[in-house]
């Protein structure tokens, strides 16, 4: 499995417009974070998790040529806003793209992108179909995926386990029921917004504690805000098997 981090920043991205903090002024490319999304190449299939506002730019940067399915974790704007940009794949392959998510996220997509789902199709509108998932293993063109149900503040959202890879963005709490599904992952990607606690996201110390519990070979933190601090400085403070992810990072699992 090859995993490419398309974006690793919080909802505002980093740098934040008009901010002149040291992180936002940093010239280190790892301090420049687009909104969170990940591209997974596995068993000959191409899977995307979340399509944020920077999706077009991420497709161009990583030269992504094909998508077999899009998994949505939840319906916050920074995770869905780029859905319209699947049109290029519709035009090239003359096929709709499969979306896999909860009934609640589906409802929100139908509201936000009403033109995609209207009975009278706007010419050139994105072509998608939605497969509703719950708490059972599902398949994207033969690739088995285990949905993980975690909390983002009070909002129940999805994480996903694919093979030995677990992806948990926008997480503040992992219910015990999910531990067994996560256990044994070789790589865990986990939300770590900043250094101080936050009501709807894990902060760095809490994320480190969770990783220590699951003991994967490697862990990567995502959804960082500019308040996390400079990538280079924070990276040096982390335990050996833990890293801050950065945009464009590619890993083999
Ligand atoms: Zn988010
Ligand atoms: Zn800043
Ligand atoms: Zn969110």
Residues of the chain with pLDDT under 70: none
Q: Which ligand is nearest to the Cα of residue 23, counting in written order? A: 2
Q: Which residues pair with 163 in a beta bridge?
A: none
Q: Which ligand is nearest to the Cα of residue 32, counting in written order? A: 2
Q: Which ligand is nearest to the Cα of residue 8, counting in written order? A: 1
Q: Which residues pair with 189 in a beta bridge?
A: 167, 220
- SS3 label, residue 6: strand
Domains of the chain: 2-252 (3.60.15.10)
For position 161, what pLDDT does the model report? 98
Span from the CA of 168 to the centroid of ligand 1 (angstroms): 11
For position 102, what pLDDT does the model report? 98
To which residue do tokens 């994105």 refer? 126
- Among candidates 149, 142, 143, 189, which has minimal Cα distance to 163? 143
Q: Which ligand is nearest to the Cα of residue 74, counting in written order? A: 3
Span from the CA of 37 to the centroid of ligand 2 (angstroms): 21
Span from the CA of 78 to the centroid of ligand 1 (angstroms): 5
For position 122, what pLDDT does the model report? 85
For position 121, what pLDDT does the model report? 83
Q: Which two tokens stand for residue 13?
A: 């991205």
Parallel, antiparallel or unpaired: strands 45-49 and 37-42: antiparallel
Computed over every residue of the chain, the mean pLDDT equals 98
Q: What does the alpha-carbon distance between residue 97 and residue 87 come to, in Å, rounded to a whole number? A: 9
- Residue 115 to residues 15, 17, 67, 120, 226: CA-CA distances in angstroms? 32, 30, 22, 8, 35
Q: What is the pLDDT of residues 120-151, one digit of tens each?
A: 888 899 999 999 999 999 999 999 999 999 99
């Amino acid at each position: 499995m090859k995993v490419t981090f398309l974006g690793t920043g919080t909802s505002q991205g980093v740098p934040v417009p008009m901010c002149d903090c040291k992180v936002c002024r940093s010239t280190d490319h790892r301090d420049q974070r687009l909104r969170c999304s990940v591209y997974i190449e596995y068993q000959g299939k191409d899977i995307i998790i979340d399509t944020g506002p920077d999706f077009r730019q991420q497709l161009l940067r990583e030269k992504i040529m094909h998508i077999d399915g899009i998994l949505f974790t939840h319906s916050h704007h920074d995770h869905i806003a780029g859905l319209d940009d699947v049109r290029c794949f519709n035009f090239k392959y003359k096929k709709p793209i499969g979306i896999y998510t909860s009934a609640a996220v589906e409802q929100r997509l139908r509201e936000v992108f009403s033109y995609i789902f209207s009975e009278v199709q706007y010419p050139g509108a994105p072509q998608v179909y939605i497969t509703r998932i719950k708490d059972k293993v599902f398949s994207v063109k033969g690739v088995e995926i285990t949905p993980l149900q975690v909390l983002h503040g009070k909002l129940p959202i999805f994480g996903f386990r694919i093979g030995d890879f677990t992806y948990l963005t926008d997480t503040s709490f992992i219910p015990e029921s999910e531990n067994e599904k996560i256990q044994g992952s070789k790589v865990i990607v986990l939300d770590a917004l900043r250094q101080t606690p936050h009501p709807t996201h894990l902060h760095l110390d809490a994320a480190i504690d969770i990783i220590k519990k699951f003991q994967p070979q490697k862990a990567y933190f995502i959804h960082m805000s500019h308040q996390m601090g400079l990538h280079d400085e924070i990276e040096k403070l982390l335990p050996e098997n833990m890293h801050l992810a950065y945009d464009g990072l590619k890993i083999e699992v």
